[in-house]
Amino acid sequence: MPHIQKLSPHVVNQIAAGEVIERPASVVKELLENSVDSGATRIDVALEQGGLELIRISDNGSGIASDEMLLAVTSHATSKLRDADDLFRVATLGFRGEALASIAAVSHLTLRSCSESEQAGALLEVNGGSLSPVTPFGCPKGTVVEVRNLFFNTPVRRRFMRTSQTEFGHASEAFARVALAYPDIHFTLEHQGRRLYDLPPTDRWRDRIVTFFGDELRENLIWIDNSDETLRLSGYAASPSINRGNNRMQYVFLNGRYIRDRSLQHALGEAYRGLIMTGRYPVAFLRLDMQPELVDVNVHPTKLEVRFQDGGRVYSQLLGTLRSHFLSTDLTVRVQPAGDSGGPAQGSQTGQGTSVESHQAAMRAWARGESESAGNQPSSARQASLDLGRAMGGTPAFRPFDTDRTFGTERDSRSGASPESAGELSRSDAAAASPTGDSHVPPPYRSAGVQLHNRYLVAEHDQGMVVIDQHALHERILYEQLRQTVLEGRLESQRLLVPEPVTLAAPELAAALEARETLARLGIDVQPFGGDTVLVSSYPAMLAKLRPEEVLRQVVEQLVSGGKMPDRRDLLDELLHMIACKAAIKAGDRLSPEEVNALLEQRHHCQDTHHCPHGRPAALVFTREELDRRFRRT
């Protein structure tokens, strides 16, 4: 074993650079943060070859005093912290005193700066960590940092770099994150001598967002603003029709710092649950402002992740605020103006039609039987609605097909939900029920509804004409009522006089037994019966039209699909979707005029009847104006 020795500062800096400086975009991020911290009101960024050849960032901020220039590029030297306590109330973007030293260790760096208190500025050059003397240099107040030939002395890292176009993509994302966080600062971005962004200061955040992400967003951003004693949450959530195949368009800024936080991403997903399709992600631009003491930003060298003192509270405030806004907003899909080729399909708005279509296809496959069985099972619809009416015990319900039940069964009112297991569901529901209280009330209809093609309902209201997908609407109504019922622990189940044995494959058997508790909350009782067989002794009364074995097989299919066990909250929700889908009237079911109106009437009792639980639209509105325009009645 060789002797232990202390590493030279140069090696230390190279190691630090390895952590923080991954690619040109990391340099752009660090230098922009320094410029913001310096109090600049204007920051210009110029890049060559995606930043691989040159990154130049100029600002008009406080500047660096000439006798501190050397310190600025020394590691662990910062003007932003004084003592250890400061580390727990960081109010600047930087605080580690490492960025300039790290960048200088792996590039040719030139620093020109003139501080507020000095007449003339100074110049310092560092080549791969070796310093030349600081010399006087005439320049305006502020700082210019130039970084050339990044990773010239770390060939392995250099080889990892992608094309300059890819690197430029990352660098401009880093630029956007800072420029979005500080709309009051004037930013510009140039690449290869071409100016790509010129962003004058604005007090309309929306304008800056739209500059980056296009006009599609302008009319689709919902402003939210909610404060409590410790946290202000404000910003824009995009309407559900705008969504993406990944979560990259979820911008969260904590005290002006762009962060990625899994729990907040989860809260966003929960808030939009049922409003956008499974596998799609909401779009949002949110600012969280809180006292710096309440959050630890010293978690990761790149400062992208933070640790909240009370993460649960931030989570519920985000979720609660969004849910209550959605409840008070009309999210009905509007038919696009004439001339737009596509209808209101989400694919046409996001430009990602194929993946949306494949999701839709997958969903249709899952909900199979919907169309095949259509029309030949009027009694199933009757049964479903009947059961719903009973399950709701008194709440006005869609029960147009009231017939007597003819089963040799006894009723068994469940109270399966233990308070702690209700937790995962009630979190979002408690939030949903929270403050504003002014739920969006759909406009009343002026005429009776009409059924078309045994699948669509058409009605007239003040603003125009609404076309409703009967299955999607009923499914949504049942889903919400079911969820409420399960929450209150009184989902009605049907106990079988003779339990039914069902033989399952080994993974299915394991999944079914593992999920027993969740299944019990849905009124499904399974017990091991030896070997690969389980006994079903009760199942949801709403699904009485199906055989117990069929119900269990459907459920098990949910449990094992995707290969991994979804978390309990997701699982319960998936099962509720499935039950609602199975129990709802189908496309193809003929309804009497009374039944049509009874179903339309139900809309008013629901939180969101604009989308089915999978996020497909349940209703389309053709506004009067749009109809007038299409018929050229000006």
Q: Which does 35 bind (CB under 5 to 8 A by kind): Mg ion, ligand ADP, none?
A: ligand ADP
Of 97 and 566, nearer to Mg ion (C-beta) is 97
Could you give the angle at which helices 205-213 and 164-181 cross, rounded to 10 degrees?
170
Check residue 99 for interaction with ligand ADP (CB under 6 A): yes
Q: Which does 97 bind (CB under 5 to 8 A by kind): ligand ADP, Mg ion, none?
A: ligand ADP
Part in contact with ligand ADP (CB under 6 A); list of ranges 96-104, 156-164, 270-278, 619-627: 96-104
Structure tokens at 512: 């079914």
Distance CA 260, CA 230 (A): 20
Of 99 and 526, nearer to ligand ADP (C-beta) is 99
Among 13, 14, 26, 34, binds ligand ADP (CB under 6 A): 34
Residue with smallest beta-carbon separation from ligand ADP: 94
Check residue 26 for interaction with ligand ADP (CB under 6 A): no
Pairing of strands 281-282, 284-290: unpaired
Among 13, 107, 143, 255, binds ligand ADP (CB under 6 A): 143
Per-residue x/- track, 49-88, ligand ADP (CB under 6 A): ----------x-xxxx-------x-----xxx--------
Residue listed under structure tokens 């310190």: 71
Least CB distance to Mg ion at residue 257 (A) = 12
Give the C-alpha distances (Å, rounded to integers) separating 327 from 85, 113, 271, 322, 601.
43, 53, 11, 9, 18
Of 98 and 146, nearer to ligand ADP (C-beta) is 98
Of 98 and 261, nearer to ligand ADP (C-beta) is 98
CA-nearest of 475, 458, 480, 478 to 467 is 458
Contacts of 561 (CB under 8 A, 6+ apart): none
Strand-pairing partners, residue 621, are: 334, 466
* Count of residues that bind ligand ADP according to CB under 6 A: 22
Instruction: Tell me which amino acid residue 365 is.
Output: A
Of 95 and 253, nearer to ligand ADP (C-beta) is 95
CA-nearest of 454, 395, 464 to 588 is 454
Least CB distance to ligand ADP at residue 342 (A) = 47
* Count of residues that bind Mg ion according to CB under 5 A: 3
Question: What b/e sequence results for 543-582 when a residue is b if at least 16 CB atoms lie within 10 Å of its CB, and e otherwise?
Answer: bbbbebeebbebbbebbbeeeeeeebbebbbbbbbbbbbb
Structure tokens at 198: 């010129």
Among 24, 51, 63, 94, binds Mg ion (CB under 5 A): 94
Least CB distance to ligand ADP at residue 304 (A) = 15
Distance CA 388, CA 542 (A): 6
Least CB distance to ligand ADP at residue 86 (A) = 11
Least CB distance to Mg ion at residue 64 (A) = 12
Of 98 and 525, nearer to Mg ion (C-beta) is 98
- What region does 274 belong to: left with phi over 0, alpha with psi -120 to 50, or beta? left
Least CB distance to ligand ADP at residue 79 (A) = 3
Among 64, 99, 276, 386, binds Mg ion (CB under 5 A): 99
Identify the burial level of 494 via C-beta atoms within 10 angstroms of its C-beta, where 0-12 means exposed, 13-18 middle and 19 or more buried. Answer: buried
Q: Which does 64 bind (CB under 5 to 8 A by kind): ligand ADP, Mg ion, none?
A: ligand ADP
Check residue 73 for interaction with Mg ion (CB under 5 A): no
Least CB distance to Mg ion at residue 285 (A) = 24
Least CB distance to ligand ADP at residue 6 (A) = 22
Residue 438 has φ and ψ, to the nearest 5°, of -95, 70
Of 94 and 617, nearer to ligand ADP (C-beta) is 94
Binders of ligand ADP in range 304-343 (CB under 6 A): none
Of 20 and 486, nearer to Mg ion (C-beta) is 20
Distance CA 478, CA 580 (A): 5
- Asked whether 154 and 35 are in contact (CB, 8 A), the reply is no
Q: Which does 471 bind (CB under 5 to 8 A by kind): ligand ADP, Mg ion, none?
A: none
Residue listed under structure tokens 């596509």: 342
- What region does 195 belong to: left with phi over 0, alpha with psi -120 to 50, or beta? beta
CA-nearest of 437, 391, 364, 338 to 543 is 391
Q: Which does 518 bind (CB under 5 to 8 A by kind): Mg ion, ligand ADP, none?
A: none
Contacts of 365 (CB under 8 A, 6+ apart): none
Instruction: Tell me which amino acid residue 307 is.
Output: R
Check residue 61 for interaction with Mg ion (CB under 5 A): no
Contacts of 352 (CB under 8 A, 6+ apart): 244, 245
Of 30 and 508, nearer to ligand ADP (C-beta) is 30
Part in contact with ligand ADP (CB under 6 A); list of ranges 92-100, 446-454, 554-562, 573-581: 92-100
Give the C-alpha distances (Å, rounded to integers) separating 526 from 505, 515, 537.
15, 10, 6
Least CB distance to ligand ADP at residue 53 (A) = 21
Among 13, 14, 34, 58, binds Mg ion (CB under 5 A): 34
Which residues are at the interface with ligand ADP (CB under 6 A)? 30, 34-35, 38, 59, 61-64, 72, 78-80, 94-101, 143
**In the complex, which residues of this chain contact Mg ion (CB under 5 A)?**
34, 94, 99
